[in-house]
């Protein structure tokens, strides 16, 4: 079983990203759980959301304490949280931290496509694209999941964001 | 069809599949997304039900009472303080023999203000005459809601389905949603009819004996529930309990709700180390699965996520009144305090060694 923690600021779409990836995991024939931070989520505040992916039914419902993967939706989060995980996926032009790091400039991808809300780039689908690549999901499973989550033009743009990040995410080991 | 759904959305899907005709509810976290989703379904015309917004939970269940007495299939949902606010109406619904179905998304009763799971709220229903079921996951939340309508309408008793706040209500997971019910849920039959031009009295002043007779008859019908659950004809088989790795168990854990999934993972870990441990998960609290508890012949640990101040864990107290073997009770996870697989591994180890105290942590 793979356990993932997503660190985002409220409004960046961390909870939605977890949900989309759970649907993508189902499309891959796997079992998944998407768990929002239990409690109040507020715009701008640090939000933790969680994701479990497994080949077998997932029975546990307790919180994830020791994630295998941490996804970081903003570099600024590194100044607030001490991140430790075997694998990190980060929204950044550079790897930023040591270890096995996957990095992608999700903010630019979202801005270029006009995925903006109240002045912020909404990076959830770009980051979902990067994470799907790290988890070994097919891009089709992810596109289908995005199609179920958004409709019309918004679905189209979000699929583009996910595809771009899926292609562009880079691995770095140090 | 397999979908990713939260427990709350799974309940809403079940209500839609059941062709519920009347819904009244008042929002309260973590229940709110059930009736939010239902309101959307009604608005889009996916569900042909009357949705009545009310000013309180007491009114919500009062409206549902009226609709159900009038013959409609009716549903509501609440949590914690909302359940306490409608408590008087819970008794009206039960003693009037109305087959109302209600989802109770379990939440700690304050103060202090706390929105996280604890089972003390749903257990306040235990003396009312409601059938009480407790789901482990979103799939069961959906299935038990559908079973709820079937059983409630067979015995004319109301049915409450518990879902752990957030852990089941807000966790999105894989749920197999039936495409259709294939006659599983026929149109509701009424054993009394209120209609214009033919007035009858429900709940009026009576001889004292009448009150006693009503409770005795409710008890008789409650006794039928186990058999009806086992023979419901639903796509998945259900019973009042789930027996997990009980075959040769020397130690048995009794509990209910979402954390039973964590307990199963812990039991698997201990089994690999040669500990003969299993679990009797209560899927129903009312009727209490007495026959399963009576036949236990081993050391029993009851893990309660509820507490009756002055006595102890409520389920442990009930199990002790029935079991013919050693029963140890522990109270854990009150106020939503997180208790997971690692906790259960060390809790069960201590139990096996005879070192477990009454509270965790």
Per-residue pLDDT tens over the stretch B258-291 = 999 999 999 999 999 999 999 999 999 999 999 9
Nearest Cα to Cα of residue B349 among B167, B122, B341, B143:
B341
Among chain B residues, CA nearest to A34:
B172
Backbone angles phi, psi at A109, to 5 degrees: -60, -45
Structural domains counted in chain A: 1
Q: How many CB atoms lie within 10 A of CB A86?
A: 11
Domain that holds residue A107: 2-173
DSSP letter (8 states) at residue B113 = P
Q: How many CB atoms lie within 10 A of CB B46?
A: 11
Best probe of the A interface among B171, B236, B264, by most A CBs < 10 A, is B171
> How far is it, in rounded angstroms, from Cα A4 to Cα A8?
13
Q: How many CB atoms lie within 10 A of CB B184?
A: 17
Per-residue pLDDT tens over the stretch A83-135 = 888 999 999 999 988 889 999 999 999 999 999 988 899 999 999 999 999 99
Choose the closest CB to B261 out of A18, A32, A60: A60
Residue ranges per domain, chain B?
Answer: 2-230, 241-360
Averaged pLDDT for residues B336-357? 97
> How far is it, in rounded angstroms, from Cα B275 to Cα B171?
31
What is the gyration radius of the CA atoms in chain A, in angstroms? 15
What is the overall mean pLDDT for chain B? 97
pLDDT at B96: 95
SS3 for B285?
strand
Give the dihedral of Cα atoms B315, B319, B321, B327; nearest 10 deg: -110
Q: Chain A: nearest CA to B100, how far in angstroms?
A: 29
Q: What DSSP letter does each residue of B1-29 carry, written as one string?
A: -EEEEEHHHHHHHHHHHTT--EEEE---T
Examine domains B2-230 and B241-360 and report if their fold is the same. Answer: yes
Cβ distance A61 to B259 less than 8 Å, yes or no, reads yes
Cβ distance A60 to B171 less than 8 Å, yes or no, reads no
Choose the closest CB to A32 out of B168, B170, B174: B174
Interface check for A62 against chain B (CB to CB < 8 A): the answer is yes
| CATH topology classification for B2-230 | Rossmann fold (3.40.50)
Cβ distance A32 to B173 less than 8 Å, yes or no, reads yes
**What CATH number is given for B241-360 in this structure?**
3.40.50.920
Helices then strands, counting H and E runs in chain A, come out as 5, 9
Cβ distance B340 to A26 less than 8 Å, yes or no, reads no
Among chain A residues, CA nearest to B262:
A60
CATH number of the domain enclosing A97: 3.40.920.10
Per-residue pLDDT tens over the stretch B288-315 = 999 999 999 999 999 999 999 999 999 9
């Amino acid at each position: 079983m793979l356990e993932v923690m997503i660190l985002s600021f409220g409004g960046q779409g961390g909870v939605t990203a977890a949900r989309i990836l759970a649907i993508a995991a189902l499309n891959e024939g796997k079992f998944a759980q998407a768990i929002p931070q239990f409690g109040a989520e507020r715009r701008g505040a640090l939000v933790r959301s969680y994701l479990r992916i497994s080949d077998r039914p997932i029975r546990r419902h307790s919180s994830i304490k020791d994630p295998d993967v941490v996804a970081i939706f903003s570099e600024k989060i590194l100044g607030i949280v001490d991140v430790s995980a075997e694998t990190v996926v980060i929204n950044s032009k550079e790897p930023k931290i040591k270890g096995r790091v996957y990095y992608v400039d999700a903010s630019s991808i979202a801005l270029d496509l006009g995925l903006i809300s109240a002045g912020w780039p909404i990076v959830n689908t770009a980051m979902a694209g990067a994470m799907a690549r790290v988890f070994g999901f097919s891009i089709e499973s992810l596109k289908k999941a995005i199609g179920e989550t958004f409709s019309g033009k918004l679905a189209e743009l979000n699929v583009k964001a996910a595809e771009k990040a899926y292609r562009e995410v880079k691995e770095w080991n140090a | 069809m397999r979908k990713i759904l939260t427990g709350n959305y799974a309940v809403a899907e079940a209500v839609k599949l059941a062709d519920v005709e009347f819904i009244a509810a008042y929002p309260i976290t973590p229940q709110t997304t059930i009736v939010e989703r239902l309101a959307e379904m009604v608005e889009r015309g996916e569900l042909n039900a009357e949705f009545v917004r009310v000013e309180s939970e007491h009114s919500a269940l009062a409206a549902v009472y009226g609709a159900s007495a009038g013959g409609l299939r009716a549903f509501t949902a609440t949590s914690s303080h909302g359940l306490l606010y409608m408590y008087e109406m819970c008794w009206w619904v039960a003693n009037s023999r109305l087959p109302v179905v209600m989802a109770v998304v379990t939440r700690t009763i304050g103060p202090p203000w706390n929105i996280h799971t604890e089972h003390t709220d749903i257990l306040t229903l235990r003396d009312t005459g409601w059938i009480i079921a407790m789901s482990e996951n979103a799939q069961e939340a959906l299935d038990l809601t559908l079973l709820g309508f079937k059983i409630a309408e067979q015995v004319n008793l109301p049915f409450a389905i518990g879902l752990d706040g957030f852990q089941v209500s807000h966790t999105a997971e894989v749920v197999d949603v039936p495409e259709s019910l294939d006659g599983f849920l026929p149109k509701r039959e009424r054993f009394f009819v209120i209609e214009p031009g033919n007035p009858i009295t429900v709940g009026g002043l009576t001889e004292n004996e009448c009150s006693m007779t009503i409770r005795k008859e409710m008890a008789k019908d409650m006794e039928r529930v186990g058999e009806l659950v086992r023979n419901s004809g639903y796509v998945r088989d259900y019973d009042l309990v789930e027996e997990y790795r009980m075959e040769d168990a020397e130690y048995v854990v009794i509990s209910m709700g979402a954390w039973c999934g964590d307990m199963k993972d812990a039991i698997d870990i201990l089994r690999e180390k040669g500990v003969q441990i299993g679990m009797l998960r209560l899927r129903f609290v009312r009727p209490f699965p007495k026959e399963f508890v009576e036949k236990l012949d081993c050391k029993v640990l009851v893990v309660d996520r509820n507490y009756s101040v002055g006595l102890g864990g409520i389920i442990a107290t009930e199990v002790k009144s029935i079991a013919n073997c050693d029963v140890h009770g522990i109270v854990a996870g009150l106020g939503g305090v997180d208790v997971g697989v690692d906790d259960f591994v060390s809790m069960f180890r201590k139990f096996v060694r005879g070192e477990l105290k009454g509270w965790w942590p």
